[in-house]
Each structure stands twice: as structure tokens, then as C-alpha cells.
Amino acid sequence: MTDHKNREPEENKKIRQLEKFYRDNEGKPMTTDEAVKISDDENTLSAGDRGPQLLEDFIYREKLSHFDRERIPERNVHARGYGAHGVFECYASQSDLTEAHFLQDAGRKTPVFVRFSQVAGSRGANETLRDVRGFATKFYTEEGNFDLVGNNIPIFFIQDGIKFPDLIHALKPEPNNEIPQGQTAHDTFWDFIGSNEESAAMMMWIMSDRTIPRSFRTMQGFGVHTFRLVNKEGVSHFCKFHWQPVLGVHSLIWDEAQKIGGADPDFHRRDLWENIEKGNFPEYELGIQVIREDQEFDFDFDILDSTKLWPEELIPLKKIGKMTLNKNVENVFAETEQVALHPGNIVRGIDFTNDPLLQGRLFSYADTQFYRVGTNFKQIPINRPIHTAHNNHRDGAARYVIDKGQVAYHQNYLANNTPYPVPGDKGGFVTYPSLVEGKKVRQTAPSFEDHFSQGRLFWNSMSDVEKSHILQAFSFELGKVKNPEVRERAVRLIAHISRPLAVSVAEEVGVPAPPEAIPESDVTASSPALSMQNTVFRTDTLKVGVIIDEQYDSNALKNAMASWEKAGLEPVFVSRRLGTLEGTNGDSLSVDETFLTGSPLLYDGLFVIGGPYATRDFHFMTNQFIVDQFNHYKPIGGIDEGAKWIEEIHLQNRPGVLTSRAPTDGFYKAFVNAMAKQRFWDR
Ligand code: HDE
């Protein structure tokens, strides 16, 4: 691993600002928090060798008291997450649409911090559970912090924030026995879904492979809500924000996701952390969909309804910049855990709409952050804006800033009326003066009432493989539901979207087929942009598990390595024990994993070389790796003994399985192409 600090980009001001707060213990004497040097940190002060311990031991008291307070409440949703620093670069000025400073100039770079998360699991949950993933970005702009707090799915379960606690209570482990952890395959979740038709479209999304991503690096991000962009002239456009991963959108398959939970419960954070350490910086392009104010009612869905997406075929996506994550945190608690992301943090040039779900969020985030992190959470290094904040907020628990001066009020004479408000034409934030009219009511807007068209649009857009995975996911999830009526009610909801799907699920989970009378959506349109089959396929950063033993074929390995390096593939050498192996040319390589510490689940492809002295055990373990890779549709290559072993179990010539006893350049190229394809669904 290389030292990532050498790669810190100059322009990353936020990182430079954070450095002021770093405390490096290396090579320093140990002290108390009051900076008194400590002579003994292992023995409590006691009266005599075997006597009672003394309360006056301030060193012991400080150590234990601090330890006793180490945990803070975890987030009540999105508790498990992982973050990284980076930079956002604007492609071209968006001044025709927005005054937002970070979008004014081509090439302008803005420091960012991103936290990826899973919704349901607690802080210790395994990371490959089926769940929506959070994708939350803090932009530290020159004109204040802008947070884009999104998910990896473009729509949401509910239309009004008042239902959020119900959704989350249904989704979290059931309160009587706290089972199951971090997943939706249980009665209360499906009871909620079956009882809330507005969740139908989101139900389809969460049953797709989107909820078991391959990596945080291969996930889209969506702001979900409709925001406003406002330009200098005060003209407003409605806007949706999207993040598009440069590596394409890729997922695990269910069998892998379940097993990786055991093989590596930290799968996603490890993947992100390791890739950033290696300099494989994840990149995402920011896209916007924009519609004019006068087009607000031009669509057959309400643009303020968060259970609806804007099909890209109707409203195209415009790429406006790129984010590169280029530095891991120094301390997960101080940065990732204490970061406070809030959709209410907007800057000049961006504003809210009346989307009722967005409005609900505007209250909830800061409210929970005051409770979870404390009154002065905005002064914590990770949350501070680039430029110091100036106002008359004072005091509160754990205030970090020492506010100078006599005056803490506005208006004033004693401090020449400072800090002073800044008018709109001088850079102050002004709210977009949208028209508000109507009576106070508690009701869902009639324009929010079509709950099935977009679920059907999503279903129509899926490839056959994606459809079969959705059926499998429903069969698993509802198969875990104990109450047959809850299963049946969920199946009836599916019938509104696709009757054949509902009938198949009903068969799988042992409930009656849904009544014929349930009207099925008649939408015939599809949106190719929604299918993961239409994404980008690349080889860079994919891992190849290479099974190899003593006296491996040095020349063949050299050629294979050259072709992998060119494609950006990363070999992981797996053998029977750690240490070095010698090849036929007297060269050597260092083993990365053993059959015990490694796992075929963790590699995107497998390349079997083996060696002439491989034992029966070695051969047996290799077979297991091959079979798992095969069952997960992943590419397999084999040369020398490897080719022989693959042939022995009759897998040669199956789709994506390549063997050769005399490998040529063409063979290595074919293996790289197979890696680029990633999965061979036609096996
Ligand atoms: Fe959140 N959500 N949410 N949410 N959400 C939180 O805020 C909430 C919603 C999302 O990495 C909490 O600081 C309500 C939609 C992410 O720190 C909490 C409603 C979307 C994160 C909260 C929603 C999200 C959160 C928990 C319905 C996608 C993690 C701790 C009105 C656009 C951010 C916290 C991070 C976190 C409330 C709906 C995404 C409780 C009331 C829709 C990515 O305040």
C-alpha cells in the first residue's frame, strides 16, 4: 500500500483545514488531558501491594470516565456508514440555471465529504444485507455548506414525512425480539408495504439487485426530491440531482450477498478504503434533470411526489461535474460518525420545493443532530464550513469556539452593528418567492394518487435476468414472513403492477393467486436508463483471485500479469499458506490469501494456475473455489494444472470459462474480455 497522504490534492482546502485539528501521538510522551505527564498507565494507585484502590487517582478516574462516555447514540436510520473526502470539479458554468458559487466556473474545485450508508442495520450490521444505500455528500463551498443527502434509489417509500417513523418502525428489527438485524425480510415490514399502496414502486426497486450493490464505487446516487435552481435574475427551474459512477452500476447476486455477510461483514467499507489507499479514486459524475417552471404540470405524474422519478427519456440528464474521492478519513468516529448531513443545508442558488417528503426532512435532520451529536455539532471540524461562521449564537454544551467581545445581539451600536446581514444583491441568501395559496388541510394531493404506473414502468424496463432476480427476491423476502395474510396482501399489491409476477410469487410463497379483479397497470412504456444491463462495463479495479502453487509457470504468469495490468485488473494470489512461492524461472511471488482467509466470493473472477506439486487438499479447495465462481456466473480462466482441474469437473467451454494448455496472447485477451463482461448469465 502506498502512502495516500502524498496524493492529497492541493486544492482540497477542507482537508488542509482539518489538519489543524489532527493530533498525532506518535513519538510523544503520554499525558493526561490536562497535559500532565503520566509515569505509570498500567497500575491503579492503591494502599499497599494488595490494598484497596484510592479515589484520588486522577489518572485512573480520567481514563475510565472518558471511556465510559465513548459511545454516542447511533443514527436511528443509516447507522452503519463509511465516509471519505474528495473534490468536486464543475465541468461548465451553470450560471444560466443557478447562482450556486460552486457551479459558476468550469474547472472550479470544491472539497467534499461523502458518507455512504445502509438504512436499516445498526452500526455493527453486516454490510451486504439487502437494503437501500445512503449516498450523502457535503460540499464545502465558498458560500457555505451544501448537503446533497440522497440514496442509491431515485424514489422513496412514502409521500409525506409524517409516515417516516411508521415506515422505520416496521422496517427495523421487530421490537419484541429484536430480529432480524438490518433487513426487510420479516412480517412488520411487509405488513407496512401491503398496507401502504404508495410504497408499490419503491417495493419493486428494493426487490431488484439495486439493494445489494457490488461496491459503493458502483452505485448511483439520487437526491430523490425535486429541488429548485435559481439564477442571478431570480428565474427558477425545478431540478433533480443524480450521481453516476464512472465504473458503471453493478450489483452482487443474492447468494453472494448472503455469504459475503459471513466472509467479510465489512465488505463495502474495506472495498472503499482499500481502493482509496491504492489510489483507485472512485469517481462519480453529477447529473441534473431540469424543467422550467411553466412545465410543472406537463407530466402524467406530480413532480413534487417523491415516489415518482423523472424518466430520463422524457427529461434528459445533463452532466455538470465530477466528484473524485481521494482521501480516507483519519478517524472514523471524529469524521464519519460525527458528520451531520442535512438536506436543509442549501446555499444561494439552490432552494426547496413543496415536496412534502422534503419538507418533512427539513425538520428532522437538525433535530436529531442536536440530540445525537450535541448543541454545538456545527463547530466540530468535519461540519465546519470553509469560512468561519459569524453570528450571535452562544453557549450550549461543549462550545468549541471562544466567542470574543461584549456584544452578542443584533441590532447593536457597540460593535457597529456587526455581524451584519448581507442583502440579496450582495451575496446574502434569499428564499425564492414561490407563490403559496390554499386552505390548511390534512390530505394527500389528488395528483399523488397514481401508485402503480411507475412500478410498472420499472418492471417493463428490466432485462429477463433482472426480472428473475426480482422474483427470487420477493420469494425470499415474503418466504420469511410468518403470517400468511401479510404475504397475501403483499402479493395483491404486486398484482397491481404485474399479474404474472404476482402469480409466480404467490406460488413460491404458498398463498392463493391474487383475485382477477385487481386491475393491473396498463403502462407499456419502458425506460432503458433504469436497467443495470445498460450500464458501463469496465475492468479497472476488478479483482482476480489467482490460485497458484510452488513451481508455477513463470512465463505464463508473466504474460497473464502483463495483460491484467493493462486492463487495470488486480490479482490476489491465493495458495495453501502465506509466504513466498517460487516459479519455474526461479522468480518468486508473495501469497496474499490462503484458502482459509480468502474466498471466491470476494473476487470478480478466478484464474487457476496451480502447480505440479499441488496436494489433494489443494486440488479439493481449488475445486470449491471454481464451483462457487461458476455458480455466481463469474469469469474463470485456467492454464497448466488449472486447465486440467477445470476440465476434470467438465466446466471447460461453458460460457465465461476459458482454459488453455498453451496460452497465447489471444487467450489472455479473451480472459480480460470475459472479466469486462463480469457475469455470464447464460450458464
Ligand atoms: Fe433520511 N434521515 N429521512 N432520508 N437519510 C436520516 O438523519 C428522515 C429520506 C438519508 O450519512 C436521519 O442525521 C425523514 C429520504 C440519508 O449521516 C434522520 C425522512 C432520503 C441519511 C432522517 C427521511 C433519505 C439519512 C438519521 C422522511 C433519500 C444518512 C440520522 C421525511 C433522499 C445521512 C440523521 C448520513 C438520515 C430522517 C427520508 C436519505 C432521522 C424524517 C427520502 C442518506 O433525521
Q: What is the pLDDT of residues 438-496, one digit of tens each?
A: 999 999 999 999 999 999 999 999 999 999 999 999 999 999 999 999 999 999 999 99
pLDDT band of residue 10 (cuts 50, 70, 90) is low
Predicted local distance difference test score (pLDDT) of residue 517: 97
Q: What percent of the chain has pLDDT over 90?
A: 97
Whether 372 has a binding-site annotation, put simply, is yes
Give yes or no for residue 7 having a pLDDT over 90.
no
Confidence of residue 3 (pLDDT cuts 50, 70, 90): very low
pLDDT confidence of residue 238: 98
Return the SS3 of 341: coil
What is the distance in A from the centroid of ligand 1 to the CA of 343?
Answer: 8
Q: Give residue 95's pLDDT.
A: 98
Residue 1: the pLDDT is: 41
d(CA 359, CA 351): 12
Single-letter residue type at 205: W
3-state secondary structure 254-303: HHHHHHHHHHCCCHHHHHHHHHHHHCCCCEEEEEEEEEEHHHCCCCCCCC
Question: By C-alpha distance, which of 601, 536, 538 is closest to 569?
Answer: 538
Instruction: Tell me which DSSP letter residue 53 carries.
Output: B
**Mutual angle of helices 187-195 and 484-497, in 10-degree steps:** 40
Percent of the chain with pLDDT over 70: 98
Longest Cα pair distance anywhere in the chain, in angstroms? 90
pLDDT band with cut points at 50, 70 and 90 for residue 229: very high
pLDDT value of residue 211: 98
Q: Which domains does the chain have, with CATH numbers?
A: 46-182+210-383 (2.40.180.10), 458-533 (1.20.1370.20), 537-677 (3.40.50.880)
The question of whether 151 is a catalytic residue gets the answer yes
365 is in an annotated binding site: yes
Give 140's strand partners: 145
Cβ contact 342:145 at 8 Å = no
What end-to-end distance do the CA atoms of the chain give, in Å?
37
Interhelix angle 187-195/164-171, rounded to 10 degrees, is: 150
pLDDT at 2 over 50: no
Distance from Cα 334 to the centre of ligand 1, integer Å: 20
> Exposed (0-12), middle (13-18) or buried (19+): which is 12, by Cβ within 10 Å?
buried
- pLDDT tens figures, 290-329: 999 999 999 999 999 999 999 999 999 999 999 999 999 9
Helix%, strand%, coil% for the chain, nearest 5: 35, 20, 50
- CA nearest neighbour of 260 among 132, 131, 80, 128: 128
Ligand-binding site membership of 487 (annotated): no
**Does residue 400 surpass a pLDDT of 70?**
yes
User: pLDDT value at position 9?
Assistant: 60
Q: Are 316 and 211 in contact (CB under 8 A)?
A: no
Contacts of 407 (CB under 8 A, 6+ apart): 414, 415
Is there a cis peptide before residue 359, judged by omega within 30 degrees of 0?
no
- Residues comprising the chain, all counted: 683
Contact by Cβ (8 Å): 240, 299: no
The pLDDT tens digits for 27-76 are 999 999 999 999 999 999 999 999 999 999 999 999 999 999 999 999 99
Q: How far apart are CA 452 and CA 495, in angstroms?
A: 10
CA-nearest residue for atom 34, ligand 1, is 365
**Best substitution site from 118, 119, 133, 149 to test ligand 1's pocket, by max atoms within 8 Å of Cβ?**
149
Split at pLDDT 50, 70, 90, the class of 12 is confident
User: What are the pLDDT digits (tens) for 260-291?
Assistant: 999 999 999 999 999 999 999 999 999 999 99
Q: Which three cell numbers stand for residue 79?
A: 447507522
| List 12, 151, 275, 326, catalytic entry | 151
| CA 90 vs CA 108, 111, 248, 349, 419: distances in Å | 5, 12, 20, 15, 32
Pocket test for ligand 1, best of 135, 172, 364 (most atoms within 8 A of CB): 364
Mutate to test the pocket of ligand 1, among 76, 77, 123, 345 (most ligand atoms within 8 A of CB): 77
- Helix H or strand E segment including 570: strand 570-575
pLDDT in tens, 513-542: 999 999 999 999 999 999 999 999 999 999
Which residues does a 6 A CB cutoff place in the pocket of ligand 1? Answer: 75-78, 81, 115, 117, 134, 136, 149-151, 156, 161, 164, 224, 306, 341, 357, 360-361, 364-365, 368-369
Greater confidence, 281 or 683? 281
b/e per residue 356-366 (b: at least 16 CB within 10 A): bbbbbbbebbe
Residue 4 clears pLDDT 50, i.e. is over it:
no
pLDDT of residue 308: 98
What is the rounded distance in angstroms from the CA atom of residue 263 to the CA atom of residue 653?
29
**127-184 residue pLDDT tens:** 999 999 999 999 999 999 999 999 999 999 999 999 999 999 999 999 999 999 999 9
Distance (angstroms) between ligand 1 centre and the Cα of 144 equals: 21
CA 517 to chain centre: 40
Q: How far is the CA of 151 from the centre of ligand 1 (A)?
A: 9
- The active-site residue out of 12, 78, 275, 328 is 78
25 has catalytic annotation: no
Q: Which amino acid is at 71?
A: R
Interacting residues of 29 by C-beta distance below 8 A, sequence separation 6+: 37
Contact 634, 679 (CB under 8 A): yes
Rounded to the nearest integer, the mean pLDDT of the chain is: 96
Cell 408495504 found at: 193
For residue 14, the model assigns a pLDDT of 86
Phi, psi of 168 (to 5 degrees): -70, -35
Torsion on CA atoms 167, 170, 171, 172, rounded to nearest 10: 120
